[in-house]
A and B are shown apart, each in its own frame.
Chain A
Amino acid sequence: MTQASLLSVEDLRTYCYTRAGVVKAVDGVSFALERGDSLGLVGESGSGKSMTCNSILRLLPRPAARTVGGRVLWEGRDLLTLPEREMRRVRGREIGMILQDPLMSLNPVFTIGNQVGEPFRLRGAAKGRSDLREKVLDVLRQVHIPSPEARLSQYPFEFSGGMRQRTVAAIALAGSPGLLIADEPTTSLDVTIQDQFLRLLRELQEKTGMALILVTHDLGIVAETCNKVAVMYAGKIVEFGDVRQVLTSPSHPYTEALLKALPVPGTRQRRLYQIPGEPPNLLDPPAGCAFEPRCHRAMQACRNARPPIKKLSDGRQAACLALEAREVR
């Protein structure tokens, strides 16, 4: 990974300290993003995708969770060692964030205009009331809120789910961030509204060159929105690469199984391919590869140690011993 990357996450480790023991929620995650990139971070619940994002922004639930190792290089600075005062300038201004439930991220007792204006006020970016109003109207227009003038004095409850999520996006965009982290931004939205929102994200990216990390469990959303994808399992990235490559010819057995388990619309197969078992208990993970107990390619060697992520001959990265064995041959 070159120093020139916009964001470079190196061997990030975030552990959760619970009464029952230590959970390695993020266990050595590395990836790099360039300007304009959009990375899909996919995985099942508990795979560590949200924890990875929260670690980057240092928004972990403390003291239960702590980042214990690694580096997060943002434009050359390590965010993990930045003083909190400076970190506050990064959040919202340089890196924006959108969370899953838009209603939870909006304050019910303040007007939309007030909340969208807050990032401008905090930065002192507006010269007077009328300038602030113009700036707020401008970002609301960017996210396609219809008749924004009339909407300024309304409250979140008067907005539909889709409009609320677009308002949250407007707040995140108010600081013109170089990177937007969106954690399952469309899970609570209907498909047609989801489609509108994902198109909006792509449009904004094209306009501003902003990079995007999109956390989702839906490979369909990744295919439509992202150019890179990282598949996470039990706290580690098991496959990373170009979306086209990974989704059309997955190399890690987990990615392969995930794609095979999806129903293909229009073809009514009697049975779906099913991945046996359930994700491992992270309090007591398997000694070897975390996917080994469910893997159809598992070998004896897989039980001994977790395989490191390695670059394959076609440029992507995967963490699988069976794969390495095939590559060597």
Chain B
Amino acid sequence: MGTILELRNVKRYFGIRSGGWMGGGGEKPLKAVDGASFSIASGSSFGVAGESGSGKSTMGKLILRLDRPTGGAIEFEGRDIGKLDAEGDAWYRTRVQAVFQDASGSLDPRMRISAIVAEPLEIHARTGPNRLGKIEIREKVEDMLAQVGLPKRVMDNYPHELSGGQKQRVAIARAMILEPTMLVLDEPVSALDVSIRAQVLNLLSDFQDRYGLTYLMISHDLATLGHVSSQLAVMYLGRIVEIGGTEDIYARALHPYTKALFRAMPLPDPNRKKSAPSLRGEIGSALDIPKGCRFCPRCDEAMPVCSDVDPELVDVGAGRRVACHLMSGPQFTKATHQRGSSE
């Protein structure tokens, strides 16, 4: 399996005018994504977890070319997507497609379902050698709707006539119609009811088996990500704090933030005892990032070094990287043990 997507130190800062009137104040950077590096293997599923404000959706937008990074580079199938010309852009959009959380918001209420699903084809297959005729487009749309499990009769419906689950199936059909190699899924099932969620997740996994698709799934829901993804990155205030094999992370989370996320996850097991206290405080502001570790103000295991030095994302073996001083070097490991035994 080769690499399909690679991010190298990707940054997205937004300039925010701070204070002052009539342009009197200075510019302050809001660091939405602050140096993300990872690669995704072709045909795999990569999960990005984090709370609101962690930068996960901004990262999705950067990958979709809906926004441009202010630093670093994103490479897709060996090409730097920051340096695509108009033709390259059209190529990229046939290769990478997106499904968002709110299907009602992403489907035009005045278009019929058939037109919504056909639109990408009409844009991308209108010219050139792959030109499709009206009949061919209609056949493709019918076939795709069948593949996502929608009856033929919905073609003439409008989005408001469909249920939430059906609308999300339409969004998936529209994303799949160009036969892309990668889908960016931003909270694709969060708005759906539990009984519908499983249907959509199964549909996505069928598509992956059938077409060897690569998925990048962004979600706050660790249970869903654990089910879908083989690799997982946990983000906090613009940084990846832990990244590795999903099963390994579930078996033994290393970063204190990842551990806290797992503790906070509600499980339908009435016998589970929650003894550890919940994570205190709230996610900080991306305008005012702490000097040391970003998680330090909320961390139970913080040491003096944490408020001074920003930890690097370091390899801790078995393909896992963690940005935490507890993980870097024997002197810190010893300190943890002492702390642990005194509690």
Whether A298 is near chain B, meaning CB under 8 Å from some CB there, is no
**Bound: A243/B269 CA distance, A:** 9
From 236 to 272 in chain B, residues with beta carbon under 8 angstroms from any chain A beta carbon are 246-247, 250-251, 260-272
- A219 in contact with B268 (CB, 8 Å): yes
**Bound: A190/B283 CA distance, A:** 10
- A220 in contact with B266 (CB, 8 Å): yes
Minimum C-beta distance from A185 to chain B (A): 13
**Bound: A267/B247 CA distance, A:** 7
**Bound: A224/B265 CA distance, A:** 10
- A262 in contact with B223 (CB, 8 Å): yes
- Knowing A160-B282, A247-B269, the reply to whether A263 touches B193 (Cβ < 8 A) is no
- B274 in contact with A244 (CB, 8 Å): no
Mask of B191-209 contacts with A, CB within 8 angstroms, 1/0: 0011111110110010000
B residues within 8 A CB of A247?
A: 268-270
Whether B222 is near chain A, meaning CB under 8 Å from some CB there, is yes
Whether B42 is near chain A, meaning CB under 8 Å from some CB there, is no
Minimum C-beta distance from B190 to chain A (A): 10
- Of B85-93, B124-132, B224-232, B333-341, which stretch is located at the interface? B224-232
- Knowing A44-B193, A196-B279, A274-B198, the reply to whether A262 touches B268 (Cβ < 8 A) is yes
- The B interface is mostly helix, strand or loop, or mixed, namely helix
- A261 in contact with B197 (CB, 8 Å): yes
Whether B102 is near chain A, meaning CB under 8 Å from some CB there, is no
- Knowing A196-B278, A274-B199, the reply to whether A261 touches B194 (Cβ < 8 A) is yes
- Knowing A191-B220, A224-B274, A278-B163, the reply to whether A261 touches B279 (Cβ < 8 A) is no
- Knowing A192-B261, A192-B278, the reply to whether A223 touches B283 (Cβ < 8 A) is no
Closest A residue to B267 by beta carbon equals A220
**Bound: A44/B164 CA distance, A:** 12
From 171 to 205 in chain A, residues with beta carbon under 8 angstroms from any chain B beta carbon are 190-196, 198-199
- Knowing A223-B267, A224-B266, the reply to whether A217 touches B193 (Cβ < 8 A) is yes
**Bound: A179/B195 CA distance, A:** 30
Minimum C-beta distance from B298 to chain A (A): 8
- Knowing A191-B265, A195-B263, A278-B196, the reply to whether A263 touches B201 (Cβ < 8 A) is yes
- B278 in contact with A199 (CB, 8 Å): yes
Closest A residue to B203 by beta carbon equals A274
Whether A265 is near chain B, meaning CB under 8 Å from some CB there, is yes
A261: contacting residue among B198, B261, B266, CB under 8 A: B198
- A272 in contact with B201 (CB, 8 Å): yes
B residues within 8 A CB of A266?
A: 226, 247, 250-251
- Knowing A45-B193, A265-B226, the reply to whether A191 touches B272 (Cβ < 8 A) is no
- A190 in contact with B251 (CB, 8 Å): no
Minimum C-beta distance from B168 to chain A (A): 12
- Residue count of chain B within 8 Å CB distance of chain A: 46
- B278 in contact with A44 (CB, 8 Å): no
Closest A residue to B268 by beta carbon equals A219
Minimum C-beta distance from B207 to chain A (A): 13
Whether A326 is near chain B, meaning CB under 8 Å from some CB there, is no
- A244 in contact with B227 (CB, 8 Å): no
Whether A282 is near chain B, meaning CB under 8 Å from some CB there, is no
- B205 in contact with A195 (CB, 8 Å): no
- A272 in contact with B202 (CB, 8 Å): yes
Closest B residue to A219 by beta carbon equals B268
Q: Which of B166, B195, B223, B260 has the most CB of A within 10 A?
A: B195
Whether A85 is near chain B, meaning CB under 8 Å from some CB there, is no
B residues within 8 A CB of A219?
A: 194, 268
Whether A322 is near chain B, meaning CB under 8 Å from some CB there, is no
Whether A259 is near chain B, meaning CB under 8 Å from some CB there, is yes
- B279 in contact with A195 (CB, 8 Å): yes
B residues within 8 A CB of A218?
A: 266
- Knowing A265-B222, A268-B246, A278-B163, the reply to whether A221 touches B266 (Cβ < 8 A) is yes
Whether B51 is near chain A, meaning CB under 8 Å from some CB there, is yes
- A195 in contact with B264 (CB, 8 Å): yes
A residues within 8 A CB of B220?
A: 190-191
- B263 in contact with A257 (CB, 8 Å): no
Closest B residue to A221 by beta carbon equals B266
- B270 in contact with A244 (CB, 8 Å): yes
B residues within 8 A CB of A190?
A: 51-52, 220, 283
- Knowing A195-B279, A272-B201, the reply to whether A278 touches B268 (Cβ < 8 A) is no
**Bound: A223/B265 CA distance, A:** 12
A residues within 8 A CB of B29?
A: none
Mask of A34-57 contacts with B, CB within 8 angstroms, 1/0: 000000000011000000000000
A residues within 8 A CB of B226?
A: 263, 265-268
In the complex, given contacts A191-B220, A264-B227, what are 20 additional A-B residue pairs having Cβ atoms less than 8 angstroms apart?
A190-B283, A192-B51, A192-B260, A192-B264, A193-B282, A196-B280, A198-B266, A217-B193, A219-B194, A223-B268, A223-B272, A224-B266, A247-B269, A258-B195, A261-B194, A263-B201, A264-B223, A266-B250, A268-B230, A275-B195
A-B contact pairs, 29 of them (CB 8 A): A45-B164, A163-B282, A191-B222, A191-B266, A193-B282, A195-B279, A198-B266, A218-B266, A222-B268, A223-B268, A223-B272, A224-B272, A247-B268, A247-B270, A248-B269, A257-B195, A258-B195, A261-B197, A263-B223, A263-B224, A265-B262, A266-B251, A267-B226, A272-B201, A272-B202, A272-B227, A273-B198, A278-B163, A278-B195
In the A-B complex, the 5 residue pairs with the closest CB atoms:
A220-B266, A263-B227, A195-B264, A266-B250, A219-B268
